[in-house]
Amino acid sequence: MNLWAVFLTGLTSGGLSCLAMQGGLLASIIANQKEDELKSNVKKNNSPKSFDQLDWLPVSLFLLAKLVAHVLLGFFLGWLGSKVELSLTVRLIFQSIAALFMLATAGNLLDLHPIFRYVVFQPPKFVQRMVKNSTRSKALFTPVILGLMTIFIPCGVTQAMEVLAITSGSSMIGALIMFFFVLGTLPLFAIVGVATAKLSEAFKQSFMKIAAAILIFLGLSSVNGVLTVLNAPVTFSKMTQSITSKQSNSQIGTKNGVQQILIQVKSNGYSPNRLQVKAGIPVQLTLQTKNVYTCASSFILKAFNISMQLGPNDSQTVTFTPTKKGRYSFTCSMGMYTGILEVI
């Protein structure tokens, strides 16, 4: 096991992919903290205190909790193997919860309704008494909780690393895999988190609206990803395809009465991504990867209950028989990369 390669994966594609999935949680932490600081300073009619200037603190706590949670996850994945793997349904539930949290945080920042105030996590009373300062306790408590939650909303690259941890067959190696991978993702998260906090100090009032707009975008993108995986009738990609629709389905060959499909899984999607098969004839679907460490390696064809998690260099085959005519979406587990299988 090349742990250096695992670290580089986190430093490059892993950081970008995970930031797209989990960056909204980090932005939520910073936005809520800045809102509390503004309200506190307005009430006390004074300038920000030294604690307010430690913008690295919530970011550090979030990243530390994320690292610890994934190391523990890797330990148990290596020990228990595939028994611990989260089902697609559970992953989609947590992705939906994260999306709703981002949207609710945006509603709180824009003061749309008092109900959105409940989205701010309140630490237990005993924690508040220990820390004494309510604003400070939330600044410590919320990043840790959300950092721990990230194991339930893994990006596609994280899922690929989890597969490596499972196949390692060793709790220690599994923990090391997740440690070096998450360690590689930390620099990008830290830069974005602290830069966002520093930027907010320059124009605090405008920051709330900008942060809310970003959270709305990330939240809707996450919801769209869930809808895409579920093959919902309305998604952003389907609306785009209906506007720029150019029918160029790949022709499928037949061998011994079985339709043969070969999809090359690439870092930026699937090739081909538009396929046409005949109903009532068995289909043999083969997916191949070559140095792929993105969400695309987690393939889902929900309409036919097909879910495959491929390794970076892998080949997997599944056989099914389509009986109902129609257009069915296939996608990665995050809904970022998609394609169409048309049954005629």
**In this predicted model, what pLDDT tens digit does every residue of 202-222 receive, in sequence order?**
555 565 677 678 778 877 887
Instruction: Find the helix or strand (DSSP H, E) in which 225 lies.
Output: helix 204-229
Identify the residue whose tokens are 């939520």: 28
The C-alpha atoms of residue 192 and residue 168 are separated, in whole angstroms, by 32
The predicted pLDDT at position 337 comes to: 87
Binning the chain into helix, strand and coil, the percentages to the nearest 5 are 60, 15, 20
Work out the pLDDT band at 242, boundaries 50, 70, 90.
Answer: low
Give yes or no for a contact between 131 and 140, defined as CB atoms under 8 angstroms apart: yes
The predicted pLDDT at position 199 comes to: 61
Give yes or no for a contact between 258 and 319, defined as CB atoms under 8 angstroms apart: yes
Q: Is 80 exceeded by the pLDDT of residue 56?
A: no
Tell me the two tokens of residue 247: 């029918």
Residue 92 or residue 44, greater confidence = 92
Please report, to the nearest 10 degrees, the dihedral formed by the alpha carbons of residues 252, 254, 259, 261 taken in order. -50
Q: Is 80 exceeded by the pLDDT of residue 70?
A: yes
Write down how long the chain is.
344
Tell me the two tokens of residue 343: 């049954």
Fill in the amino acid letter for 314: D
| Structure letter (DSSP) for residue 334 | T
Q: Is 80 exceeded by the pLDDT of residue 154?
A: no
Percentage above 90 pLDDT, the chain? 21
| Residue-averaged pLDDT of the chain | 77
Work out the pLDDT band at 71, boundaries 50, 70, 90.
Answer: very high
Fill in the amino acid letter for 264: Q
Sequence-ordered list of residues with C-beta below 8 angstroms from that of 338, at least 6 positions apart, any chain: 228, 237, 269, 270, 273, 329, 330, 331, 332
The predicted pLDDT at position 117 comes to: 74
The C-alpha atoms of residue 58 and residue 81 are separated, in whole angstroms, by 33
Q: Is 90 exceeded by the pLDDT of residue 263?
A: yes
The predicted pLDDT at position 55 comes to: 61
Residue 238: C-alpha distances to residues 245, 277, 344 (Å): 10, 20, 19
The C-alpha atoms of residue 124 and residue 304 are separated, in whole angstroms, by 45
Average pLDDT over residues 248-264: 82
Q: Which is it for strands 258-266 and 298-301: parallel, antiparallel or unpaired?
A: unpaired
Work out the pLDDT band at 299, boundaries 50, 70, 90.
Answer: very high
Average pLDDT over residues 133-159: 71
pLDDT tens readout for residues 313-336: 899 999 999 999 998 999 987 788
Q: Is the peptide bond before 187 cis (omega within 30 degrees of 0)?
A: no
- pTM value is 0.60
Work out the pLDDT band at 116, boundaries 50, 70, 90.
Answer: confident
| CA nearest neighbour of 331 among 305, 304, 302, 309 | 302
Residue 187 or residue 17, greater confidence = 187
The predicted pLDDT at position 213 comes to: 81
pLDDT tens readout for residues 5-43: 788 878 876 776 677 667 767 777 776 666 666 566 555
The predicted pLDDT at position 134 comes to: 47
- Listed range (47-61, 143-157, 275-289) with the worst mean pLDDT: 47-61
The predicted pLDDT at position 65 comes to: 92
Q: Is 80 exceeded by the pLDDT of residue 201?
A: no
